[in-house]
Amino acid sequence: MTSCSTDSCNERRVVSVTIMPQKYLAEQIAGNRFDINCVVPPNSNPEAFDPTPMQFVEIDRSEAYLCVGGMLGFEVTWMERIARNNPDMKIYDTSRGIDMLTSTHCHEHNKGEMHECNVLDPHTWSSPRNVRIMAYNICRALTELDNEYADYYKENCDRLVQRIDSVEAVVSSLLEPCRGTAFAIYHPSLSYLARDYGLSQLCIEDMGKENSVLALRNRVDEAQNSGVKVVFIQQEFNPRQVETFARELDAEVITINPLNYDWAAEIINIAHAIAR
Ligand SMILES: [Zn+2]
């Protein structure tokens, strides 16, 4: 029996990320050098996700963790413990250097206790401009972990940034003419896109929860006054109130998935929906 060395087994190095859009970005840059483990699976809500024991095993196998940053519910609740359990794991903030928004986002912090609204909005990946910064941050992290392949990561990153540039051009051509208009959304996950294109984002949920009937009525009035024609719902949230809201407004409900692995396709879909 020959024992199996790491090399002959071809066991690859692992880096963990929190959400699928980060997995997309990290995979483009990592190429065949790292496996990218995404902790929050598709169709789960990263504001309120608890990892399974198996997922902790995967996280523990990682030599680095690329967190979203800002204050995403999952990371607020779990990052400290993940760091404590894995003292050798390097932790990078993929939102480093992004001009962060406050007071656009609040979330349920573990079982019903609400955060103040002036926390850093974690949904940085809704804006192509931010995604470019995230790509550079991921490239820097992988280069630090695996310096021998610095040129490889730079090449991959340059190719990804070209792709981001072309996505940004499409999104800009769709959204520049929409400056000053408003859209509604259940959970406020498009704050950065709204900021970058001068749109106003009306959030339907109330501090991460459903509204009272009266509060919903007020939100409908507000949306009516702002000329909202499109109402977005994210598939990981319960759409009950959104249906009522949209019916009152006579607006169209469009399901989006800002946590889509295919970041580029999703952001272009969203821009099309706002622009039509
Ligand atoms: Zn959120």
Report the pLDDT value the prediction gives residue 4, as an integer from 0 to 100. 45
Report the pLDDT value the prediction gives residue 108, as an integer from 0 to 100. 53
Does residue 231 contact residue 274 with C-beta atoms inside 8 Å?
A: no
Which segments within the chain are labelled E, that is strand?
Answer: 13-17, 34-38, 64-67, 90-93, 108-109, 113-114, 182-185, 200-203, 230-234, 252-256
**Parallel, antiparallel or unpaired: strands 113-114 and 108-109:** antiparallel
Which residues of the chain register pLDDT less than 50? 1-6, 8, 109-111
Quote the ligand 1 centre to 238 CA distance (angstroms). Answer: 14
Report the pLDDT value the prediction gives residue 115, as an integer from 0 to 100. 53
The Cα 112–Cα 122 span in angstroms is: 19
Instruction: Kindly state the tokens that stand for 64.
Output: 């680095």
Quote the ligand 1 centre to 71 CA distance (angstroms). Answer: 8
Report the pLDDT value the prediction gives residue 168, as an integer from 0 to 100. 98
Report the pLDDT value the prediction gives residue 114, as an integer from 0 to 100. 53
Which segments within 69-197 are labelled E, that is strand?
Answer: 90-93, 108-109, 113-114, 182-185
Quote the ligand 1 centre to 188 CA distance (angstroms). Answer: 6
Quote the ligand 1 centre to 212 CA distance (angstroms). Answer: 20
Report the pLDDT value the prediction gives residue 1, as an integer from 0 to 100. 42
What is the set of domains in the chain, with CATH numbers? 12-170 (3.40.50.1980), 175-275 (3.40.50.1980)
Nearby residues of 110 by Cβ (< 8 Å), 6 or more positions away: 73, 77
Cα dihedral 101→91→135→132 (10° resolution): 10
pTM for the full predicted model: 0.90
Report the pLDDT value the prediction gives residue 107, as an integer from 0 to 100. 58
Quote the ligand 1 centre to 15 CA distance (angstroms). Answer: 23
**Parallel, antiparallel or unpaired: strands 182-185 and 200-203:** parallel
Quote the ligand 1 centre to 2 CA distance (angstroms). Answer: 50
Phi/psi of residue 44, each to 5°?
-105, 155
Quote the ligand 1 centre to 173 CA distance (angstroms). Answer: 26
End-to-end CA distance of the chain: 65
Q: 191: helix, coil or strand?
A: helix
Surrounding ion ligand 1 within 5 Å at CB are: 47
Quote the ligand 1 centre to 48 CA distance (angstroms). Answer: 9
Report the pLDDT value the prediction gives residue 206, as an integer from 0 to 100. 77
